[in-house]
Every structure is written in C-alpha cells, then in structure tokens.
A = this chain, B = another copy of it.
C-alpha cells in the first residue's frame, strides 16, 4: 500500500511541518494560510530548543513541539525543511506511519526511488512516490521554471549559469548576519562573523558549500545533477558558478542556454509571456529587468534580458530573479502537496 491511496479519500489533511521555526518553515506556514490549504490539524515540529515557541495560523495559536520518531502518528502530509541530516533520521518514521513526506532538503533528491519535482515541469512524477517526494534546490527551481518552456520547444544541450544568491538560502540567522554586519560596517566598527564563512556585508563570495573533486561546490553540482533528473535528460550539461551576494531573500541568475533547435528571441519571449510560474520583466527601453527586491514575496519567477547569446550559435541569454523562500522552497513544496491531493 502506498500512502497516496490514503490521501485520495480525504478532503482535509493532518499536516506536520518539520523545521517550523526556520526561514523556510515560517514561509510554509504563511503560504499554507494564503492558499487555504485543506488542513484538518497542523503540527509544528522543531528541535527541543524551539519547543513551546508559538505561531499564529488561521487566527489560532500553535505551539511548536519537539520532533521525535513518535511525532507522525495520524499525520497525512509532512513538509520537512529542517536540514538533510534531520530528514534522513526522522522521515523514515513518518513514512512508516503512512504519511507522504515532501522533503525540502538535499537528503533524498538524488535517490532514484524518490521523485524530484517542480510542478510546472514534471508533475506526473509526483505519483511515482514511495512515501517521499523531494523538492529541488532553490537555485535549480529558479533556473528551470523559466528554462522549461524553451526546453520543451527547442531542446537545450547545455547551460552555463552564474548565480547571485541571497543570504536567505543560508537561513534566518544568515539574514540577521547581513543586517548586523551592514550596520557594523556603516558605523565604522569591526565586522563580526558568526554564521557565514566570510563577510557578506558589501562583499560577495563563492557559495559556502563544500568544493568537490570536480572543482564545483555542492550547490553547483546540485544544479547540474538535479536538472538532469527533473528534465529526465541524461545529456543536458550544466555548469554553474554559485555566488552569495549581500541581498536578503531572492536569488538571481545569469543564464546562457545552448539550444538543440533554432528559436528566435521573439519566440522565446512569446513562450515565456504565457508560461506558468514566470513573469516577463524585459523592458529594454526603460532598462527595467528582474531585480531581487521586486521578486521578493512573489510567487512568479521574474525573467528578462532575453537576447541571443552572441558568443555562440543557436543560443539564448537571459536573467532571472526568484524568491528563494517561496518558489525556491516553501511554495514549490506546497504546490507539490496541492497536486498530490487534487
């Protein structure tokens, strides 16, 4: 028996949020309320030190409970965003209890038994799950939603991307660090570091994930590997340069895509103007293109700077900004849940 059968017969659901007090967890709570997700009961789970913390949901106060293996009795859907090691440790228990887990960590993304889903791209994969569905990495989602209409129409051989990633991807504490360091810098005080490996205020640095043997860091390898899995395309080649910039919460990406078949810029613009999950912001006369402050808090990924890649034949260049906490994380997970119960 797979858990999906259980969900089909229900109209409202017992939902557990794992990592409820994190930046993504708090965003999930907001989005569940905004989208009126059919919740019967809501359980907020986090580590022991957050126990008792209160959140308001639909006008009612919900206290945070400590996450244990016994937390999942009667739960239908788990939205997990507490980090890979927490998911590895606790999600098997959730699955044993019959819940479907939508996991927003890297723990299961590349597991061949686990679907990796962006609802605008491969919704059909949702129903192949065996208890766990993985939510892709934020930078991957923000790149692929705008690339997918182009991919479907013209095919894509290879992608080169350079990211401008906000500190929200490193969690709420990193957002506070940007604020504290910025004040310190402006006040002429020594800049202190607690969370991030280098000063982020008025600086940038190569993404703070481990650099692997191929010279790419984990974030960059995720973008390459997850793209192949989501597109079901073992041939697409992705090279990423992931960089943290002093911005609070939306990621931007400069993308160069080498196509299989010719596609005019005007055709790409037309495709993107109608595509789900993206908003075209591409006014050359006004020099008005995607910006992270305008992408923040939005569901759509902003896409613009559409032009031929003049360094190569049959290639396009574009620039995107998307809210890392929403479509890059919480929203995508909840959209998966919505499809699951539809």
Given contacts A239-B310, A287-B206, contact A245 B164 (CB under 8 A): yes
Q: How far is the CA of A208 from the CA of B287 in the complex (A)?
A: 7
Known: A243-B164, A245-B245, A292-B203. A217 touches B158 (CB 8 A): no
Instruction: Give, as a whole number of angstroms, the nearest-CB distance from A310 to chain B.
Output: 5
Convert A227-266 into 0s and 1s, putting 1 for each residue whose CB lies closer than 8 angstroms to a CB of B: 0000000000111010101111000101010000000010
**A183 contacts the other chain (CB 8 A):** yes
The reply to whether B204 and A308 contact each other, CB–CB distance below 8 Å, is no
Contacting residues of chain A (205-223) with chain B, CB-CB under 8 angstroms = 205-206, 208, 210-211, 214-217
Contact yes or no, A205 B291, CB < 8 A: yes
Given the known inter-chain contacts A164-B245, A179-B186, A241-B317, please indicate yes or no for A158 contacting B203, CB distance below 8 A: no
Report B-chain residues with C-beta under 8 Å of the C-beta of A284.
211, 215
User: A158-B312, A160-B309, A160-B311 given as contacts; is B292 within 8 A of A245 (CB)?
Assistant: no
Bound-complex Cα distance A300 to B304 (A): 34
**How far, in angstroms, from A183 to B252 measured CA to CA in the complex?**
23
Chain B: minimal CB distance from A161 (Å) = 8
Contact status of A204 and B252, CB under 8 A, knowing A199-B293, A287-B197, A309-B160: yes
- Taken residue by residue from 296 to 333, chain A's Cβ proximity to chain B (1 for < 8 Å, 0 otherwise) reads as 00000000111111111000010100000000000000
Q: What is the chain B residue whose CB lies nearest that of A183?
A: B186
Chain A 148-187 residues near chain B, CB threshold 8 A: 158-160, 162, 164, 178-179, 182-183, 186
Which residue of A210, A214, A238, A293 has the most chain B CB atoms within 10 A of its CB atom?
Answer: A293
Q: Which residues of A contact B (CB under 8 A)?
A: 158-160, 162, 164, 178-179, 182-183, 186, 197-199, 202-206, 208, 210-211, 214-217, 224, 237-239, 241, 243, 245-248, 252, 254, 256, 265, 284-285, 287, 289, 291-293, 304-312, 317, 319
- Given A159-B311, A237-B311, 8 more pairs with CB closer than 8 A: A164-B243, A199-B293, A204-B252, A206-B304, A215-B284, A215-B305, A239-B311, A239-B317
Q: Please, could you name 17 A-B residue pairs with CB atoms under 8 Å apart, sorted by A?
A: A160-B160, A160-B311, A160-B312, A197-B287, A202-B247, A203-B292, A204-B247, A204-B291, A211-B287, A214-B307, A214-B308, A215-B307, A215-B308, A237-B311, A239-B256, A239-B317, A254-B254
